[in-house]
Amino acid sequence: MSSVQERLDALREQLRHHSYLYHVLDDPEIPDIEYDRLMRDLQHLEAEHPELITPDSPTQRVGEKPIEGFSTVTHRLPMLSLDNAFTEEELRDFDQRVRKRLELDDGDIAYAAEPKLDGAAISLMYVNGVLEVAATRGDGTTGEDVTHNARTIESIPLRIRGNDYPDVLEVRGEVFMPRAGFEAYNAAARETGEKTFVNPRNAAAGSLRQLDPKLTASRPLDIYVYSTGFVENGELPNTHSDVLMQLQEWGFKVCPERKRVSGVDGCLDFYRDIGDRRGALSYDIDGVVYKVDSLALQRDLGFVSRAPRWAIAHKFPAQEELTVVKAVEFQVGRTGALTPVARLEPVFVGGVTVSNATLHNIDELHRKDVRVGDTVVVRRAGDVIPEVASVITSKRPDGAKPVELPDRCPVCGSAVVREDGEAVARCTGGLFCEAQRTEALKHFVSRKAMDIEGLGAKLIEQLVAQEMLHTPAEIYSLDLEALSGLERMGEKSAANVIAAIDKSRETTLERFLFALGIREVGEATARSLANHFGTLEAIVEAPEEELQNVPDVGPIVAGRIRHFLDEPQNLEVIRGLRERGVAWPDREPQQAPADGPFSGKTVVVTGTLPDMTRNEAKALIMQLGGKVAGSVSGKTDYLVYGDKAGSKLSKAESLGVETLDAEQFAKIVSGS
């Protein structure tokens, strides 16, 4: 039997190894469950022998208590900034200066090109291989001690891998919040009325400067390291590219989008390539950094004031710009929700001209206090819809008044109400409201609903505006003559639309239910309703309590369904649709088993699963007796998570909710 110390060492070693494969190389060898099991084993062993716990143990990422305040750290070597180039010409000037200074008249310089990450700079000081101090950049000379928070970032090693590292090694890099995590964080914050972050950079910097490491641990932070700093007693390779390779071997995460290029033209190729793919990267970058690759040449070149002569940041067009708000209007959606939208002086940002930006909801509008005439920061990153990130209040014109929620719908004039505790205000006009009608019709024909190809958003708008379409049932009365009379509609496309309408008559109960657009009834709920009841009649007749027996239907959803089906207008539409030939096969009702593996359990699904869509996973859970919920709370029994699981996973972990990865989930489902 090996000694406790040997077992501790072995477990820690394995955990470090697998964490490295997972976080740094992005190439895990074992399923997460196995990793969790090793971690639990280590936790148990350490609990039995607390005297053997070391600060670099993988269990020691989140400290017990918040710190009282930040202490200052003086950087052993200053943390410099970079000069910027905004144009190709400025980049060519930089290369000229480099060559002139090195007296290299011909021949290209080898540059290391890498993305300029948009996060917060950090310095990580390792003494004898163990993370001792982590500090922010601060003013470049002194920063703040954020060791307690850096330790919570899984991709920051607590101990360097291997044993050939310098006695003292400072590693520098950028802590950032991946875009998906940022969006999820803000969406959750908007829902709970908490403050949102303006952009992922602020989110990263703000999260790093928390007193309570538990808060930092709950934020989806990551790091890419981009250089060394102070080094004592140890050798480093001769080029920047090789230093990064060495850092990766030592267990640090480096950005895979890096390349050794030759001369300015090589730099520009890299710049264009990454620029084309910028929106598809999972994190924000604001440019490219080129560094003279040879460290000897870097030394020859040296520094000017705060920036090295051997590197330059080549900036991309901004993802944030200033512009002026011309008006704030309220858009009415399918369920009547009023969304405030800022109409803007057109501005080129994130590669497109933006003239509208969402303000999400009335609370968010008031929190940001956007007023007509305000100068605002507009942000558009990746394919995310443009939004007003913040207001420059110092530029506010005199007399600008806060925007109020209208008490009448701007489209139909019906009363606007806001239910207690709801972030959204709604128009009460229902299908009387042209905006709601139009959106309801768009939803009705959409791909996952009745799937009427060719009857797109524009055509629906045209038909509604011309008073040719009022309810979904009327779609099935449209004829060739009426359609081909429309502007920009040829005979052939009209015939195609009619054929598509005809084809959609044959459908399924779940598609039909989803198409009706009942509030809170998404695809998954529609499917459970169809499975549970088998026929539309059974659903129409079901009292609220019976509806609540459906796996993912709670009191609120049951209430919404009843409310919809008790409305004579809606029943009229349903009747109209059936009269016009919309039909589906009925089937036997299917009740959830009382003894399934998920019976009585509430399950949340998040991330991308390898073998099925999230909706398929949800349907399976329901078939096996479980209830599916949309968000993680104290009432959640399991979180099933796939790739790119964001804030739900961290929330589940912080609440101690049991998590199942794809493999564990598949095992339960297959009954093995």
- Degrees, nearest 5: CA angle 646-648-654: 110
Residue closer to ligand IVH by CB (options 301, 427) is 301
Listed ranges 75-83, 443-451, 605-613, 640-648: which one lies at the site for ligand IVH (CB under 6 A)? 75-83
Q: Which residues contact 672 (CB under 8 A, 6 or more apart)?
A: none
User: From CA 580, how far away is CA 629, in angstroms rounded?
Assistant: 36
Task: Write out the binding residues for ligand IVH, residues 122-161 only, by CB under 6 A.
Answer: 137
User: From CA 626, how far away is CA 352, in angstroms rounded?
Assistant: 45
Residue closer to ligand IVH by CB (options 82, 577) is 82
* 608 Ramachandran zone, left/alpha/beta (phi>0; psi -120 to 50): beta
Known catalytic residue at 253: no
Strand order in 602-606's β-sheet?
627-629, 602-606, 638-641, 658-661
Listed ranges 115-123, 338-346, 353-361, 425-433: which one lies at the site for ligand IVH (CB under 6 A)? 115-123
3-state class of 452 per DSSP? coil
Report if residue 434 touches ligand IVH, rule: CB under 6 A: no
3-state class of 190 per DSSP? helix
Strand order in 168-176's β-sheet?
130-136, 120-127, 168-176, 222-232
Residue closer to ligand IVH by CB (options 116, 426) is 116
- DSSP structure class, residue 609: -
Report if residue 75 touches ligand IVH, rule: CB under 6 A: no
Among 11, 38, 121, 440, binds ligand IVH (CB under 6 A): 121
Stretch 510-549: interaction string toward ligand IVH, x if CB under 6 A: ----------------------------------------
**What is the number of other CB atoms lying within 10 angstroms of the CB of residue 425?**
22
- To ligand IVH, the closest distance from the beta carbon of 85 in angstroms equals 12
Task: Write out the binding residues for ligand IVH, residues 157-186 only, by CB under 6 A.
Answer: 174
User: From CA 14, how far away is CA 16, in angstroms rounded?
Assistant: 5
Give me the phi and psi of 127, to 5 degrees please.
Answer: -115, 125
Evaluate whether 443 touches 518 at the Cβ level (below 8 Å).
Answer: no
- To ligand IVH, the closest distance from the beta carbon of 291 in angstroms equals 7
User: From CA 293, how far away is CA 519, in angstroms rounded?
Assistant: 58
User: From CA 380, how far away is CA 223, in angstroms rounded?
Assistant: 23
- To ligand IVH, the closest distance from the beta carbon of 231 in angstroms equals 15
Among 42, 117, 433, 455, binds ligand IVH (CB under 6 A): 117
Catalytic residue among 100, 116, 253, 627: 116
Report if residue 445 touches ligand IVH, rule: CB under 6 A: no
Task: Write out the binding residues for ligand IVH, residues 209-228 only, by CB under 6 A.
Answer: 226-227
- To ligand IVH, the closest distance from the beta carbon of 233 in angstroms equals 23
- To ligand IVH, the closest distance from the beta carbon of 3 in angstroms equals 44
User: From CA 538, how far away is CA 590, in angstroms rounded?
Assistant: 12
Listed ranges 76-84, 261-269, 366-374, 645-653: which one lies at the site for ligand IVH (CB under 6 A)? 76-84
Report if residue 289 touches ligand IVH, rule: CB under 6 A: yes
Q: List helix spans (H) across 409-533.
A: 434-445, 457-465, 472-475, 480-484, 491-504, 509-515, 523-533
Among 8, 73, 80, 536, binds ligand IVH (CB under 6 A): 80
Among 156, 267, 311, 409, binds ligand IVH (CB under 6 A): 311
User: From CA 159, how far away is CA 132, in angstroms rounded?
Assistant: 9
Residue closer to ligand IVH by CB (options 84, 375) is 84
- To ligand IVH, the closest distance from the beta carbon of 114 in angstroms equals 5
3-state class of 428 per DSSP? coil
**Amino acid letter for position 172:** R
Listed ranges 307-315, 600-608, 619-627, 644-652: which one lies at the site for ligand IVH (CB under 6 A)? 307-315
Applying CB under 6 A, which residues contact ligand IVH? Answer: 80-82, 114, 116-117, 121, 137, 174, 226-227, 289, 308, 311, 313
Catalytic residues: 116
